Structure 1
Amino acid sequence: MRPLPPAARWCLIVLGVTVCYFATARIGIQWAIVREQISPLWPAAGVALATPMLLGPRFWPGIFLGALLTNIALGPSLGTVLVISAGNTAGPMVAYAVMRRLGFRNELDRLPDAVLLVVVGAIGGTAVSAVMGTGVLVFGGALSPGDFWATALVWWTGDAMGVLTITPLLLLAPRFHMPKRVPLIRWGEAAALALFGLGTAVLASTTTPKLFVVFPVLIWAALRFRQAGALLCSLCVCTVTIFAAIRGLGPYGSYELATRMLHVQAYDATVGLTALTLSTIVLQRDRATAEITDAWRQITEMVDMIAPRQSLRSAITQHNEDEAQAACASRKWSR
């Protein structure tokens, strides 16, 4: 089969990004609490940041088109929708550029990578989209100036949570390989982790003193199931927390919208950073152990190769010494 021309391949990838962004945006809209458009959990933001990281920055039109298709039906006007879509594109592209400049790697196998993803990707880049989008809504008359900060906080929280929960999973996906043989006890442990993860996430959303019960489960997931387990647990906790905040349940029910979103942002950012940090440290430990094991194997092979040669050299040296002694003894007898 003849390979596709570069232009056709570019168009297909852009179309795929557009579809992925639109599909995840439709999921996020189901939780919208401001104008049926602004959600405290926006998975499309995670897709938007992962796109340049995995595919390259030249596929940014897919992000823009996906945002345009999502927002065009929500209004309020074409100009406003274009600015919002531009902000949805500019935020992740700016975060991508800064993270690459600072040496970010998609493998997420170093502690600085996890910190960059949280600080620059989830907190910094998403602020660009939130400010641009909320600002144009206020400028266009769709929102009152007094609602700017509350709306911007919801927007910012939703995009940040999308980056924290979705982007790491997408970065991990190309390197994930399902083990061929998994013991039955391992499946049982995974099921128990999923049950405890969901249970503690729900329990943490009931009262403030129970917020911290999720962290032992995150430690368990990171130690036993590495990045995949820790990130999935983080996604579960963040989703349940945001659902509780939307409904005004548990520790979030007594606050105004802006304060509620700040609390959710701080808590979910802590959960996401903990999951990323722990799983990255465990990955670094595994890599160091593998390197030490490999170095020990190489040293053992070198010793095994040197030992026979050393024995042969000793035998030759001993033989030469014996011959020299025999020759010396022969000369003495001849005298």
Structure 2
Amino acid sequence: MVGTPESELRRTALYAVQVLAVAVCYYGAGRLGLMRQLTVEGAVFTPIWPPTGVAVACLLIFGLRVWPGISLGVLLVLLTITTLRPLGLVTVVGNTLAPVCACLMLRKVGFRTDLARLRDGLALVFLGALTAMLISSGIGVGLLVYGDRLDADSFWPVFLAWWVGDAMGVLIVTPVLLLLHRAQRALHLARWKEAVGLALICLAVVPLATRSPVSVLFLVYPLLIWAALRFELAGSMLCALFTSVMATLAATDHVGPFARLTRVEVMVKLQAFNGTMALTALLLSAVIMEQRNTRRSVESACQELVEVLEHLTAGDNRPAPYDPLSHGRDD
């Protein structure tokens, strides 16, 4: 069937809107990420780079065809922090190629955006975040060394900081966006009360844990476990996102458990905390969801088996039809 010019025009307009929406979201996430920065070996980096998470989520939702929106978003972010140079175009390529490769690898292993299986969580961690983001960080830090803006001896510390920041964007932001895209089920009143209670406790405990001079960051893990057990991935990832933002604010302000530390120590402590917290929230929620889905499948199969057995039993107990030939009269 050949499409009409009107339908082709609508598809083109829809595609243009999607590309522009991706570019705007990427740019907005980039502006948010640039609000808090750390310095390692003279190079400035962001502990969490949200645009990588936005880019991977958009590619998984809309498809690979919206990659020009990512490139446009990268270009807009670069124009706000520096003048555009020929080498800047290589940065655009690297920051576009990394999420595209992440999407391709996730598709290759049968990734499902509902993150209802443990294998999906592992794929997002090890393929979408840790492996794919090697591309953008490697190209970015390599350009700094090539342009004499960074000493070659400082390559690996800066590369590690850049890589972890990009990976954290995928680990924290991508699951939240995928969940918002698929959000359909509403909570019952009792669950709403529990959700509000959990949120209030998080608002009280997380700032205390991230800004207290006593190192009590471990207090956030019971909240993550509570959120994962009761609200699965949605609760645990929102809790992890809030905690990560608060920890980043504390680290960049050099307060609480990040006070009196060197810049490298701050970077290591913050990224280790954010990474383990995001992994705990994502993988624990995936395990819980997978087990609950398996239980529902088993319960559904048992119910169907019971119905079949009841039907067969009813058929066996049915009285036999009357046969006049078997009840002959005596002559």
| TM-score of the two chains, using structure 2 as the length reference | 0.87
Work out the CA distance in 2 between the residues paired with 1:178 and 1:102: 27
Does structure 1 residue 129 correspond to structure 2 residue 136? yes
Does structure 1 residue 200 correspond to structure 2 residue 205? yes
Counterpart residue number, 2:23: 18
C-alpha distance 199-36 of structure 1, shift in aligned 2 (>3 A): farther
Counterpart residue number, 1:45: 52
Counterpart residue number, 1:276: 282
C-alpha distance 128-115 of structure 1, shift in aligned 2 (>3 A): same
Q: 1:164 pairs with 167, 171, 175, which one?
A: 171
**Partner amino acid for 2:128?**
G
Instruction: Verify the 8 A CA contact 1:95 1:120 in the aligned structure 2.
Output: yes
C-alpha distance 285-107 of structure 1, shift in aligned 2 (>3 A): same
Counterpart residue number, 1:235: 241
The alpha carbon displacement at 1:315 in A equals 3.3
The alpha carbon displacement at 1:143 in A equals 3.5
The alpha carbon displacement at 1:67 in A equals 0.3
Counterpart residue number, 2:70: 63
The alpha carbon displacement at 1:227 in A equals 1.2
C-alpha distance 144-253 of structure 1, shift in aligned 2 (>3 A): farther
Work out the CA distance in 1 between the residues paired with 2:300 and 2:181: 25
What SS does the corresponding residue of 2:197 show, helix, strand or coil?
A: helix
Work out the CA distance in 1 between the residues paired with 2:223 and 2:165: 24
Larger C-alpha radius of gyration, 1 or 2? Answer: 1
Report the number of matched residues: 323
Work out the CA distance in 2 between the residues paired with 1:134 and 1:200: 37
The percentage of counterpart residues that share the same residue type is: 35
The alpha carbon displacement at 1:178 in A equals 4.5
**Partner amino acid for 1:69?**
L
Counterpart residue number, 2:3: none
The alpha carbon displacement at 1:208 in A equals 7.0
What SS does the corresponding residue of 1:189 show, helix, strand or coil?
A: helix
Counterpart residue number, 1:252: 258
**Partner amino acid for 1:27?**
L
**Partner amino acid for 1:231?**
M
What SS does the corresponding residue of 1:71 show, helix, strand or coil?
A: helix
The alpha carbon displacement at 1:168 in A equals 0.4
What SS does the corresponding residue of 1:142 show, helix, strand or coil?
A: coil
Instruction: Verify the 8 A CA contact 1:157 1:261 in the aligned structure 2.
Output: no
Does structure 1 residue 262 correspond to structure 2 residue 273? no
Counterpart residue number, 2:32: 27
Counterpart residue number, 1:120: 127
Query: RMSD value over aligned CA atoms?
Result: 2.6
**Partner amino acid for 1:100?**
R
The alpha carbon displacement at 1:187 in A equals 2.5
**Gaps (5+ residues) in structure 2?**
1-5
Counterpart residue number, 2:228: 222
Instruction: Verify the 8 A CA contact 1:53 1:106 in the aligned structure 2.
Output: yes
Instruction: Verify the 8 A CA contact 2:47 2:271 in the aligned structure 1.
Output: no
Q: 2:147 pairs with 111, 134, 140, which one?
A: 140
C-alpha distance 192-182 of structure 1, shift in aligned 2 (>3 A): same
Instruction: Verify the 8 A CA contact 1:153 1:261 in the aligned structure 2.
Output: no
The alpha carbon displacement at 1:323 in A equals 7.4
